[in-house]
Structure 1
């Protein structure tokens, strides 16, 4: 299940922008890896599925690509358009508000890309992604692990061991690779480790905690949330660290 507009509009208020240091490090690693595999972005038509705030769309536009940036969230796309204008690449970025299922494929693109997005959440959506490109596709998803101690503590405190809370995340990179293997589509892949820390005021962290729980279809308990957040306070701020492995998959359907 893909999260609703509301969830992502709330997330847009604190989601990293294209020039966030940690995000830029990961994006540059991904782009450099693709270029080392002889992928050229200059002049390419690119569809960025679940583009968010433009963390990949803007750097690709800066490299001369013509990017269609699709996302479900008005707030995410507003941030993307603001930064694209500031960077002087508005003419190279076209935004389209939609979920992936409803997005009209009126053309095929030179490259289709999806990075860390729940827009690609099942086989049917992978199939549509594969059909959206003339040749090349790039998928970035979680690898073997993703650790966020705050979210883990929140979920554990709100559920029992028997309960299986819903998840609205993107398809794991290895799952995507399995699909390509089944379809005998040639690909290359690589994995890398990353980490980042977000810093919030207590009220911002509380909103973040509520969003994370609601995304997993868990009703937040205010007292529990506040008691957990207190343990993550340092210097009057709540610090939320995520450690993860990300997988990059490059394929060619031509």
Structure 2
């Protein structure tokens, strides 16, 4: 009969220290107990405590500096860059990415519609103006940048940090998908205008706090992007917009 290998003492102590941090209500910048105090509290040697603290420091949970050991401010940028790098190494497909983005964005927009602030609306409307300017200048890169910013800020407006981290982690790959579709769509007159109107309609639903319509139109918008990418991969012609004479001055 195989025996289960015991967990190393310092690994268990790492979890114990994390529990102490959470239960003690400690925040970034707060000082942790000393090695001696932790050893007495957790009933282990100071050597084990030292190993556990070293591992926690490597994970970015604590930092040792003059005056003791302190809780470290979470490095969200590092977290989402790690996720993004992992997805790239695992050969995540663009379609898996879009499925994930749909889960994130459709849920996020429901929250954003309820939680958005007046400042959020101003920023989103400014991004729409950037999108309109890029359209008038026929600037593909500016258009993709504005599109990307629009989606990212909508998720940020949900006031949910986890959704924002997940969104940022997929950022680079999603921008690549946007660039591919926009370049192909550029051959159709009026397509960029139709895309702008889609984004304006999403903004309007959030502004008016119409949760059901915001959810519906975001899902349709991302489904359209997914279908367009599939048609590109299959070498099929994309469907042109319903009208080529779309006037965006009223939006």
TM-score by length of 1: 0.22
The structure with the greater share of residues assigned to helix is 2
TM-score by length of 2: 0.22
Q: Who wins on radius of gyration, i.e. which is larger?
A: 2
The structure with the greater share of residues assigned to strand is 1
